[in-house]
Amino acid sequence: MRSKKAFFNMTSSLLLQLVSTVCGIILPRLFITGYGSAVNGTISSVTQFLSFIVLFEAGVGGVVRAALYKPLSDNDNAKISSVIKAADIFFRKIALIFVAYTIVVAVVFPLIIDRSFDFYYTFTLVLIIAFSTFTQYYFGLSCQIILNADQRRYIYSLLQVFTVTLNTVVVVILIKSGASIHIVKLATALIYTIRPLVLRLYVKLHYHTDPHAIPDKSALDKKWDGFGHHTAFFLHSNTDVAVLTVAASLTNRLTIADISVYTVYYTIVAGMKNLVSAVSSGIEAAFGNMIAKGETEALKKNFRLYEFISFALSTVTFTCVGILLVPFIRIYTSGVTDASYNQPLFAVIITLAEAVYCIRIPYNNVTLAAGHYHETRNGAFIEAGINIALSFILVFPLGLCGVAVATLVAMLFRTVQYAVYLSSNILHTNISVFIKRCIVSTVCAALSILAVKLIPFTFVKQDYFTWFVYALITFCITTVITAIINLIFYRRDFLGFISILKNIFERK
């Protein structure tokens, strides 16, 4: 049953990330051509500043999820109800704080960005974008947490697939019909409000939690330990745009349009990161279940295979991204002249940063599934500090590349810290296993890049079909080289992975 749930979570998350990536590529182009790079940059900046409210969560989401593994495995409905009640109260307080924070952002933000937009234009845009976030906190977060902890993430993922697809269709229709950006973003806010409301109804009908249960405040005791992890993850995803916004208001080197450039690149790279992460969706809960039941040998065996799949998938994915990203962006932004979208060095750095992030996913997931928030929180704070400090130091001389370098350095530090901690304190294995996997992945990437570059392929036409052919060739070469090298160095893991694939297809 545990494996079946993990499979459902993985496939539904992969579907979600595929849909999100495709939709995420479609919409920025429409915003840029329909409203200009400055508007697209403003939307991205507003969204990132509003997302800073998640820092007030103090890591409660992960802590509550860890607190639910045991009562869910024991079918202890009373305990489940108490934990969820405590989470509900906490998140609704955050929702009210978010209202006040939104008003502050709506007033201040127009004063620090491109003055080509008047105060009322930006003020109302902030309020509209904030609406769906409020409903998420007030109605949906605790429900999402219980589904994740119970290895039923697929429910949430499929609901997201529906709302993301619906939003894209509606936005395309509105932009093509000449609707204002405010109408478009209002439609998006209303569509995304569907998610928390439906989740609330589903949890109410299927978990029979007691709405009058006494809240178990002890379930939130580790929230400050989780705060470091939560903060580091948040800053990984949001620091760059915030720093670029501030820098654009202080220097002529950067403009709000540069944020659009960053967003276009990051949207694509992050989409690939999310596809890799989707393989891990629901697996943290499965490891949490193993740890709760004391299944040590099963934990080690499954982690080794999890680690192998994560490294191989990350290697293939980000080697391809590193080769294909700039050619794609050139086609994607053809005809756009209000910003410089040709940024090859930035593309390489941001790709490396997200590759390192994906490599650390197995170590992060199992460490947190074990509930080791307190033991690893200092590393999370250091990562956040590195990211913020280096971003502000490097953004002025290096621009986009500066914030990307800061993210990469922070990712490298945290990934090594997680690998060392997990090896020494949970799995009790040698760190040389991690080092060897890193070396093997680097060799795979280097040989793949060399092999692709030796192919006499040229872009006769700058169009999507030609790029797709080049991408297919690149993917096949990278996959074959990665498979051969991993078969040489990790034969047992490779055959174990093949066995899993066979079992999946035989079930079908």
Q: What is the 3-state secondary structure (H, E, C) of 409-462?
A: HHHHHHHHHHHHHHHHHCCCCCCHHHHHHHHHHHHHHHHHHHHHHHCCCCCCCC
Choose the final residue of a domain: 191, 221, 251: 221
203 and 240 part of one domain: no
Choose the final residue of a domain: 413, 430, 447: 430
The pLDDT value recorded for residue 508 is 47
In a domain, 147, yes or no: yes
In a domain, 31, yes or no: yes
The pLDDT value recorded for residue 246 is 81
Residue in 280, 285, 286, 375 with CA at minimum distance from that of residue 64:
285
In a domain, 399, yes or no: yes
192 and 278 part of one domain: no
18 and 165 part of one domain: yes
253 and 275 part of one domain: yes
Among 81-85, 397-401, 454-458, name the one with the lowest average pLDDT.
454-458
Number of domains comprising the chain: 2
In this model, does residue 505 exceed pLDDT 80? Answer: no
124 and 249 part of one domain: no
Length of the chain: 508
154 and 295 part of one domain: no
55 and 163 part of one domain: yes
pTM of the entire structure?
0.75
CA 145 to chain centre: 16
Residue with tokens 């024991």: 74
Neighbours of 315 (CB within 10 A): 27
pLDDT digits (tens, 9 = 90+) for 325-364: 999 999 998 888 877 888 999 999 999 999 999 998 888 8
In a domain, 16, yes or no: yes
Range of the domain at 372: 222-430
98 and 212 part of one domain: yes
In a domain, 251, yes or no: yes
Sign (positive or negative) of CA dihedral 194, 199, 202, 205: negative
270 and 242 part of one domain: yes
201 and 273 part of one domain: no
Answer with the residue of higher pLDDT: 480 or 501.
Answer: 480
In this model, does residue 163 exceed pLDDT 90? Answer: yes
CA 205 to chain centre: 29
CA 498 to chain centre: 27
In this model, does residue 292 exceed pLDDT 60? Answer: no
In a domain, 475, yes or no: no
pLDDT band at 459 (very low <50, low <70, confident <90, very high): low
The pLDDT > 90 percentage for the chain reads: 25
Residue with tokens 């080769």: 323
166 and 240 part of one domain: no
How many helices (H) and strands (E) in the chain?
20, 0
In this model, does residue 269 exceed pLDDT 90? Answer: yes
> Using an 8 Å Cβ cutoff, are 317 and 272 in contact?
yes
Q: Which of 25-39, 355-369, 435-449 has the highest mean pLDDT?
A: 435-449
The pLDDT value recorded for residue 457 is 65
Which tokens hold the place of 300?
Answer: 């080690």
In a domain, 67, yes or no: yes
In a domain, 460, yes or no: no
145 and 193 part of one domain: yes
Cα dihedral angle (413, 418, 421, 422), rounded to 10 degrees? -160
Choose the final residue of a domain: 415, 430, 445: 430
- Distances in whole angstroms, Cα of residue 421 to Cα of each of 274, 277, 382, 411: 24, 21, 15, 15
The pLDDT value recorded for residue 138 is 79
